[in-house]
Structure formats: structure tokens, C-alpha cells
Structure 1
Amino acid sequence: MLYDSQGLAVTTDSPVVIAQINRFIDQALSYGKEAEDAILKAVIADRTCAIAHAYAAAYFLCQENANDRQHATPHLKAAQRHRPETTRERWYIQAIAAWAAGDIDEALRLHWAIAQDYPQDLLSVQQGQYHHFYRGDATNLLRLAETVLPANQSKPYLYGMMAFGLEQCGDLSQAEAIGRQAVALNRYDPWAQHAVAHVLETQGRVAEGLAWMESHADTWERCNSMLYTHNWWHTALYYLALGDLQTVLRLYDTHIWGKANKTSPKDQVGAIATLLRLELRGVNVGNHWQELAPYLHQRLHEHTLPFQDLHYICALSRAGYSDWVTEMLDSLNHVATVKASRQKTWSDIVLPAAKGMVAYANGDWTAAVTQLKPVLPQMPDVGGSRTQQALFQQLYQKALFHCEQGDGALSSLSRVPLRKQPSGYKLSALSA
């Protein structure tokens, strides 16, 4: 029995495993590009180390695609076969198994249990926040980080997690203060940088936000492709706000899609969201849709995250892949891989929203409005940040404008009772 850098017991006698697990922990919390290398080296060093296998399974599951899910399976089976000595390790393995089985409620229950009894386990907190994020549950995303704050006052990465949760809950002043504190403690914390970027964008502090992101852009070279491209996406949004559309397109070509892992769902979503926003501003994006769409073919039947699916189907429609769109819509009609508790989200929100996105992409404005308007108040349930969610409202607004052909179309949005985001959540632990 040895201990990792978080002070947690690990069932292994190999110092090499501990060194690689420590490396993995740092890479995962910093969204580093060497996380996979680190955890696979840990597994090789001790193939009986259950928690190392569980971390590897979690890494692959987080990629949210069928191919990486297959890579996760043998690691999960190995983690379950080599029963570890500690309760924390067993709970973590059970949480990853629940995730793999699509039982996110059970996964969250276990991550919360770990947070209560082993609060220094920030990897578990990070994964719990991830699940809350794709449930649209900002309040619990924040509270999970708050729960472990007293035990992690000296760990800068937790402050980045706190900052993002605060921003998603609408407490912008605290989010900015804690995000800046996290970056002051560790300049190479891209998640904390990202949280501050959200605040500055929400407050319309465009020049300040652009300076903030570009002053830290050199640190993103250490990031995995997801956060590298995502932070450049946020940078592009500032240029979009300034009306510098050519720079947005250049950033798409050089950093957002140009340096993407083109098989990564999250990188694909960022690229799709960029092109849609450019088109909303009247930019002809040329053949960019046709260049991107072939990479989406393997996504048609995955249905891992509804937020992703809505982007995929709109991109395929914009690219003119009508056969693939029809195939994906039919597949969405028969989603059988999700638990009963989430079936209603897919049937009542995702499917009509997908039809609305297709109608929008095809210029069928009436159908787009008809399909999107009833589900807009529930769209936070499909996940994504407040900034990402704004795209659905913008697409609806454009469709409505075309339907009514006049300035009055914009005021008509008030007839859609959009769900209010949580706000004003205060953290008693922050004074500690």
C-alpha cells in the first residue's frame, strides 16, 4: 500500500505506478495532453492496480465516443477483477462502472460519497462536476466543489473548479475573484482561465476578456486538444463580439479546427458552434461544412451526450448530407442506450430540438420555430455552459426573425419562458 500525491492510499507496491498516477492526476486536473500516456504507463507498471485501470477507463469514457468506449471496457473489467483494499478505490471503480453502464445517477451518488469521506480526491470531484455539467445542474456542480473546499484550501486546481461553478450559477463577482486567484497561484491552470473568460464575456468586457485570454494563450500548448481548442473558441467569441469576423475565421482555421483532434466529439462541437455563429453574423463559410461533416459519420448512432448530437445533426444538414441526417433522426427515435430516468430528455427535448436544428439548417424557418420554441425552456437539461446554450436561442431568434420579417420578431422572444439560471449562490466556506 502506497500513497499518491493527494494523500490517498493506492493498492500497489510499485513506486513507478505511484509516480505515473501522480503524473496522471496533474495532467487530468490541468487538462494536459500527456494524461493518456501517464495512466497507460501506470497500468503497464502494475497490471493488478485496480485504481490505475479505473483511471484509464475514465479517461477513455470522457472522450464520449464509441471507439474510446471500447478502449475503456478492458480497463474497467480489470479494475473490477483486481479488488483493491480501500473503500475509496472500490467506490471510484463502482462510479466508473455506473458511468459506463449509462447510470449517471449512481455514478454521481458515488462521487458525492467520495467527496464526503475522501474530500482530497479531486479527480472524483472533477468527474462528478463533469456529469452535473452535462445534466445542466449548475447548482450541484458548484456544491460538489464547495463540499471539498475545507480539505483543499492549498490546492489551486480546486479554485478553478469553484470559479466555473460560481460563473454557471450567476455569481460573477466571486467567480472572477476566485478564478483570478487560481491563475495567480498557478498560471498554467486553463480551466481557471476559462472560468474568468466566461465572466468577462457575460459582462460584455470584450477588450479585457480578449487581453486576458491572449495573455495566457502560450500556456495552452500544454493542453489536450479539447481545452486547447475550447479556449481558442472563447477567444474567437471576443473577436466575434468586436465584429472582426475574418479573425474568427482565421482562428477557426488555425486553432479551433486547424489543431483539433478531428475524431474528437468535443473538438467537433467547438468547430460546429464556431461556424454556426459565423453564419449568424452573415459570413459565408465556404466549404468548411463539407470539410468537417465526413468526420461526423461515426457519430450517427453513438448518442453519448444529447448536447453533442444537436450540433452533429445541424452540421450534417448544413453540409447537405441529407441521407445521414435522415439516418440519425431515425436513430434518435429509437435511443435505447440511456436509463429510464433520461429517456424523457431524449424523447421530449432532444428529438424535437434535433428536428428544429435540421429545419433551421435547411432554411425551413417555420418548422424551426415550431420545433424549437416549446423545448427552449428545457434546453439546459441537455448540458453545456450558459455560453454554449445561448447558441440554441440565437438560432431560434434568427428563424423567428425570418418568419415574421420585421423588428417585431426580436421582441417576440419574450413569449418564450426561458428557464432562469441559478444566481446569487453564496459560499460560506470561502471565508475559511
Structure 2
Amino acid sequence: MADEYKVIRWGYPVKTNSDECVNFIDAYFQQVLYYGADRHIILKAGEADGECVLANTLIAFFLAFKAHKDALFHLHAAQCKLGVATVYEKMVFKAVSSWVEAKEPEATLDLHSQLLKDFPKDLASLKRAQVLPENQDENYIYGMLSFPLLEVGRMRDAELAARKGLAIKSDDPWSQHALCHVFQHECRFNEAVHFMETCADSWNACCSFMYTHNWWHLALCYLEGHAHLSKIFDIYDSHIWAALQQNNVDSPQVYLNALGLLLHVHVRGNSTDIHDRMRDLVVCLMDQSSWHQEWLLDLLATWAFAYANAFSQADQLLKGMKGRVNEMQGKRRESMQRVLLLAEALYQYGKGDYTRAYDTLGPNFNVLEYKVIGASDEQLDVFEEVWCVILINSGHISQAIQALERRVEIRSGVPFTWRLLVRDGF
């Protein structure tokens, strides 16, 4: 019967006779696009109609990090009703199932791409694959477009896309984030600070990942803009560490923002200043629920454990990483072997064993090879800074000069690169 189907905000039919269920689904989509703090509203869609395939599928996606067993329960509930679901619901179910069940990333991306080919207005899935023509007037599309443009080096196009997104919706946190990336890449740190400071109040409504990530960007801009360390630590304490102390941390990427900021501070020679903060953070990281969720997080945590003399945890984490890589096949396994070497080098760097860190990485370290872990250029750049410090402290001075000069050629406005050159009299 016609009244058994409702239409969600994208215009696609869903098998349910509950208006409330659809309204909660639409509200959830809005939260996803805004990186909002109220994404738990999807749970109310399940309460309104516990047999709705789309509701159960989206609940599974929402719960995947927080409560994996509950996520699998809702996937099973959705699967039991696939026989009466719409084609759209079935395709969303396949894509989300692949993600929740941690299947190969390529397979998951293919499923999202196929979903978008048939249902291109689904902006929630568009976060995984870009389809612009059908969505040119949507609030969030240009922020989504900007990020992949900057990741392939098209900075002018990325800036235009981000600014267009902000012209449509000035408080879109992803457009703000993308524009800050452009500013940072081009060493426009003062411009970035001014822009992000004007945006900061709008982040209070964001989920913990987006909230802490934009504060992380602002802290890095302060760090490069010669701000006093107290300003950076104020951001860490008041916005990043404070978020980790709450019970609604919704993503392992919150830990990424904490660890990434402290590593940036550490590599600049401020080890003593981060000691107490690292001690407290490492205690949180001993909860293994955050392990193996993000490759970048595992890398940073390996350094953190070594720095804090938590060697048994570091060894256990490294063992788990090696086990994951050994299960891979072909070129992916080969590329991820390099990630394991970086993890071991970060472990040695954390202990202060620069010679072994150098020997582990070898003389031809190239940070671009680590894009395979899905991190942004800005997140990976700190590893190249670590590499420069390893070169200097292990006595490979001529190689350090070459590495620093390459960095100057690419981004001449990064103060830390020049400080290394001046400090060591190169």
C-alpha cells in the first residue's frame, strides 16, 4: 500500500508508515552533514519504527565505534526486513554493512560509489564519493568538494569551493576546515588564525571530532605564528583534553587531535612542557577500544606509549598492527609494510633512540607514501618534521640539509623549518 512508504529528504522512498521515523532520519542526516553533536537522534527513528531497514542501518553506522555488538544487532534487524525494503534501502544497507563489518576499504568505497551512481542526492554517502552536478545548491556540497581538491594540490580550486560553501552556509564546519587547510598549506598562518577565531563559536554545536579537529587546526596555526606555548596548551586543555573527559566522545579521531597536537609541540623541542599531559593521555589510550580504529591513531599512540615508557602497551599495539597487515594481500599489504616501519621508528623516536629510528626508516623516507592510511597532508606533515629531527640527532647532517631545503622549496613560510636550519648552523 502507498501509505507504507515515506520519502526522506533526498527524495528517495523508504519502507515505513511512520512520519516520526522519517523525521528523525532526516534530522540525523542534518547532523551528519553539519558534524553535529546530536547524531544520537537516529536512535529515536528506531524507536518510532523498529522494523525500518534504513533506520536500523543508520543506527548500526552510528553505533559502530561506540558499541559494535549493538551495531551488529541493528544490522541483523535490518537484514531480516530486506525483503520488503526499497532498492535505496538495500543499497545503503550493503554499503554500511561493509563498513561496520570492517571489510576491505576498496570494496566499501565501491559500494558507496554504486549507491551514489543510482541515488546521487544522498549527501551522507557523498562523504565517501563525490557527485557534484545533482547537488549544486546544497549547503554542504562545496565543503565536501574542497577537501579532495586540496588533497590533490588544487589549492585555488579548493579555496574557491570552500568560500562558495561558506557563502551558502557560513557556519558549515567542514567548509571552514577546508579553507583553513588551504591557508596552512600556503603558510598564511595569520590569516588562518583570524578566520578560525571568528568561526570558533559555531563549533560548539559540533560532534566531538569536528569540534576538537577545528581547534587542533587553530592551535597549529598559533604554533607556526610564534604564539606563546601557553596559548596552544590553553586550546589543548580547554577544548581537546576537556572533550576527551566527557562521556560522549564519538570518534577515535578525537585522540588523533590530542596526540597530533602534542607531537607537534614535542618535535619542536618542548618535551618537558608536555610531560604531564602525555602521562594523562596515555592512561586513556590504555583502553584498547580506541586501538586499530585508525592507522594514524595507532602510529601516534605507538609514539606516545614509548615516550611515556609504557613499553608493554607499545609492543602489544605494534603486534596488533602487524597482525592486521599480515592478513592483507598484494599491493595493499606491500604498501602497509611501510606503515609498520614508520610505527617502529616512532616507537624508537619516542624512546630517544634516533639512530635505530633512522636505521628502521632507511635513507629514502618519503611522507607521501603514507597517504595510504587516509590521513591528510597536514596530519602527515609532522612525520616529515620528525624525520628531519631524526636525521639531525642521528648525525646524518648532509641528508638533513637536503630534507630541510626540500621543505623550504615546497613551503618556504614554515618557521620551524628555518629554525632547524639556523639552530644547527646549516
State the Cα deviation string for residues 131-154 of structure 1 (Å, max 9, x = none).
Answer: xxxxxxxxxxxxx32xx2111111
**Alpha-carbon distance, 1:334 to partner:** 2.3
Higher RCO (C-alpha under 8 Å, 6+ residues apart):
1
Change (3 A) 1:7 1:261: farther
| 1:153-168 to 2 correspondences below 5 Å | 153-168=136-151
Find the aligned partners of 1:331 and 1:226 in 2 and give their Cα distance: 24
Q: Which amino acid aligns with 2:80?
A: R
- Any stretches of 5+ residues in structure 1 without a counterpart? 129-143, 421-432
Distance 1:330 1:106 in 2: 26
* Offset at residue 341 of structure 1 (A): 5.7
In structure 2, the residue matched to 1:75 is 74
Aligned-pair distance for 1:89? 1.2
Q: Which residue number in structure 1 is paired with residue 329 of structure 2?
A: 340
Matched, 1:117 2:118: yes
2:255 alignment partner, one of 264, 268, 272 = 268
Question: In structure 2, which of residues 187, 190, 193 is the aligned counterpart of residue 207 of structure 1?
Answer: 190
Evaluate the alpha carbon distance shift between residue 225 and residue 274 of structure 1 in structure 2; reply closer, same or farther with a 3 A threshold. Answer: same
Aligned match of 2:232: 248
Cα distance, 1:346 vs structure 2 = 7.4
> What percentage of residue pairs aligned between the two structures are identical?
29
Question: Which 5+ residue runs of structure 2 have no aligned equivalent?
Answer: 411-426
Superposed CA offset, 1:216-258 (max 9, x none): 1111010000000000000001100112122111111111222
Query: Cα 1:39–1:337, aligned 2, differ >3 Å: closer, same or farther?
Result: farther
The RMSD of aligned alpha carbons is: 2.3
Match of 1:89 in 2: 89
- In structure 1, the partner of 2:415 is none
Q: Do residues 410 (structure 1) and 394 (structure 2) align? A: no
Q: CA deviation at 1:304?
A: 2.8
Amino acid at match of 1:24: Y
- Please say if residues 273 and 311 of structure 1, whose CA atoms lie closer than 8 Å, have aligned partners that are also in contact: yes
Aligned mates of 1:405, 1:319 — CA distance in 2: 26
What corresponds to 1:430 in structure 2?
none
SS in 1 for 2:324: coil
2:370 aligned partner, one-letter code: M
Q: Could you say which residue in structure 2 is the equivalent of 1:367?
A: 356
In structure 2, how many angstroms separate the alpha carbons of the residues matched to 1:57 and 1:15? 21
Structure-1 separation of matches of 2:356 and 2:63? 38
> Could you tell me how far 1:405 is from its partner in structure 2?
6.7
Q: CA deviation at 1:104?
A: 2.1
1:159-308 equivalences under 5 Å are 159-244=142-227, 245-260=229-244, 264-283=251-270, 284-299=273-288, 302-308=291-297
Q: Go from structure 1 to structure 2 and tell me whether the alpha carbon gap of 1:270 and 1:11 turns closer, same or farther (over 3 Å shift).
A: same
Instruction: Specify the code of the residue in structure 2 equivalent to 1:270.
Output: N
Change (3 A) 1:78 1:345: farther
Contact 1:76 1:97 in 2 (8 A): yes
Kept after mapping to 2: 8 A contact 1:352/1:375: no
Cross-structure match for 1:5: 9
Using structure 2 for the length normalisation, give the TM-score.
Answer: 0.87
The code of the aligned residue for 1:398 comes to: V
Q: Deviations over 1:292-327 (max 9, x none)?
A: 001111338942322221011111111111111122
Kindly tell me: are residues 312 and 160 of structure 1, through their superposed partners in 2, closer, same or farther at Cα, counting changes over 3 Å?
A: same
Bigger Rg, which one: 2
Instruction: Write the letter of the residue equivalent to 1:88.
Output: Y
